[in-house]
Structure 1
Amino acid sequence: MMNRFKILLILFTLIQSSCSSNSKDGGSQIIIKKFFSLYETKGVESALNYAYSTNSWLASGSREDTQKVIMQLKEFTTKLGKLNGFELLKKKDINERYTVCSYMLMYDRQPLRFTFIFYKPNVEWQLQSFQYDVGMSDESVNSINLSW
């Protein structure tokens, strides 16, 4: 009887810790943290392959599309110089299951923006969409013009 209680207690603890790491946006932030760790240590390909692997629909989709994004980003970033870090620009929780995070990567030549959209269809967070662009200058100027 006591052994059953111990097993149930251990299972409950494991389930609770699993849920807390995926609660609200904790799971999406875990994905982001690992993504940037891989990006800095192993490069674009490793980081994007990991991010796409969090979503079985993206992972099982067209490998050509994934490789195209990876190759374009690799080629583009080689022209930007050294990566000097990254920081969160904006995070917006649409609701408890959908969140958007925008990060600025600080390269020598110019900043690069990564936008991640995460979705939690059940228990686990997954990457729903990934985009990158350099349109931050235009948006900055437009936001200043609108506020005057």
Structure 2
Amino acid sequence: MQYFNLKAIKPVFVVVMICTFYSRSYAQTQSAPAGPVVTGVTTYIDKFFKTYEKEGTSKAIINIFKTNPLVDSTSLRGLIAKIDTTRGLVGLYIGKELIVQRKASNSLVLYSYLVKHQNQPVRFTFMFYKPKNEWVIYRLYFDDQVDNELEESAKINGKP
């Protein structure tokens, strides 16, 4: 019959329990870094979506592009028409969820959102540029292919 020396095991057991407790509590309290939150930019985006929901596409697009004096009004009309046509198909706006945010530098950032509608999601991607002291909308991308990209990402490519 073999006996264990409990006095010798006890300190090891305590260390293992402390490590287990610490790693579990650390994993629960720590989250993946959310990325760079750029206050001026997120304010513009939040205002955009509030206007998009309550006052429509045209007002939301025009308001956000007021930050950029170089915007071409013809391009804006085309973008507004494209979004409005899509909105007619995808149903009522329900909300938004951040997909990704990226920071190329302190002067160029990108935020991409899954925009939830009643029938189908769409994606809005905002790129902001700060040439001097103020953020301006630099690019605004809109598409309804986010579900196709997700599906494509699940395929095994390049395997024989």
Give the whole-Å Cα distance in 2 for the aligned partners of 1:99 and 1:146. Answer: 31
**Structure 2 counterpart of 1:136:** 146
Q: 1:36-85: per-residue Cα shift (whole Å, max 9, x none)?
A: 11111101001000111111111xx3x22211211221121111111111
**Structure 1 counterpart of 2:90:** 80
Give the whole-Å Cα distance in 2 for the aligned partners of 1:41 and 1:92. Answer: 28
**Structure 2 counterpart of 1:55:** 68
Please report the RMSD computed on the Cα atoms of aligned residues, expressed in angstroms. 1.7
More helix per residue: 1
SS state at 1:65 partner: helix
Q: Counterpart amino acid of 1:90?
A: V
SS state at 1:94 partner: strand
SS state at 1:57 partner: coil
Structure 1 runs (4+) greater than 3 angstroms displaced: none
Give 1 or 2 for the bigger CA radius of gyration.
2
State the identity %: 27
Confirm or deny: 8 A CA contact 1:25 1:96 kept in the other structure: no
Structure 1 segment 1-148 matched on structure 2, within 5 A: 25-58=38-71, 61=72, 63-146=73-156
Measured after TM superposition, the shift of residue 142 of structure 1 is 2.2
SS state at 1:79 partner: helix
SS state at 2:131 partner: coil
Give the whole-Å Cα distance in 2 for the aligned partners of 1:71 and 1:33. Answer: 22
Q: With the length of structure 2 as denominator, give the TM-score of the two structures.
A: 0.71
The answer to which structure, 1 or 2, has the higher relative contact order (CA under 8 A, 6+ apart) is 1
Task: Provide structure 1 residue ranges, at least 5 long, that are not aligned to the other structure.
Answer: 1-23
Q: With the length of structure 1 as denominator, give the TM-score of the two structures.
A: 0.77
Measured after TM superposition, the shift of residue 146 of structure 1 is 5.0
Give the whole-Å Cα distance in 2 for the aligned partners of 1:32 and 1:146. Answer: 35
Give the whole-Å Cα distance in 2 for the aligned partners of 1:110 and 1:101. Answer: 20
Q: How many residues align?
A: 122
Measured after TM superposition, the shift of residue 106 of structure 1 is 0.8
Give the whole-Å Cα distance in 2 for the aligned partners of 1:142 and 1:79. Answer: 23
Q: Counterpart amino acid of 2:93?
A: L
Give the whole-Å Cα distance in 2 for the aligned partners of 1:65 and 1:100. Answer: 20
Task: Provide structure 2 residue ranges, at least 5 long, that are not aligned to the other structure.
Answer: 1-36
**Structure 1 counterpart of 2:13:** none
